[in-house]
Structure formats: C-alpha cells, structure tokens
C-alpha cells in the first residue's frame, strides 16, 4: 500500500487558538483551540483535498517534489535606510 507524506505546520493564531496548513497543498488550512485539535482538523482537510485530487485524476504532490529552504537575516540586513 502506498504512503503519502505531507509536512504540516501548526502555529499560534492571534488572538487565540492555532492555525494549521500544508505548504505542499495550497488552500489546505484549518484551525483549532489546541495544537492537537488543529492537527486532527488538518488531517481531515488533507484527506478531503487528496480525495478531490484523486476524483479529478490529478497527481498527488509528494514532499520529494518540494524544496525547503531557511532564510537567515542579520539585524543589519533588516534596517531601513532613510534618505
């Protein structure tokens, strides 16, 4: 049986709760009162999205197709120059 792997991100949402999303699946976002609830809701959202892709005979993106990079900025790089 084939497995699919999706990187998910759960982050605090202002003013309360948590926001979850899947970078590889644009439009797949959800929320929850706790990280666990956001994770469960995200799992349901992923399932629904992938089922739609399968129904439409679209390819399912794989994490191996994605490129992840971390950008590092020094404080001096972020200073605004005033003329």
Strand partners, 30: 20
Q: Is 29 part of any domain?
A: yes
47: containing domain: 9-78
| Whether residue 65 has pLDDT greater than 70 | no
Residues 6+ apart with CB under 8 A from 23: 7, 9, 66
Q: Is 53 part of any domain?
A: yes
What values do phi and psi take at 42, rounded to 5?
A: -65, -40
**Distance (Å, rounded) from C-alpha 67 to C-alpha 83?**
38
User: What number of helices (H) and strands (E) belong to the chain?
Assistant: 1, 3
Q: What is the mean pLDDT of residues 50-61?
A: 94
Mean pLDDT of the chain: 90
CATH number at residue 32: 3.30.160.250
Q: What is the pLDDT of residues 4-39, one digit of tens each?
A: 889 999 999 988 999 999 999 999 999 999 999 999
């Amino acid at each position: 049986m084939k497995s699919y792997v999706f990187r998910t991100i759960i982050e605090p949402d202002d003013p309360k709760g948590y926001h979850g999303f899947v970078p590889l699946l644009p439009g797949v976002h959800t929320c929850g009162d706790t990280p666990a609830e956001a994770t469960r809701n995200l799992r349901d959202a992923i399932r629904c999205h992938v089922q739609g892709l399968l129904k439409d005979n679209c390819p399912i993106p794989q994490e191996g197709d994605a490129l992840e990079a971390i950008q590092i900025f020094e404080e001096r790089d972020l200073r605004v120059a005033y003329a």
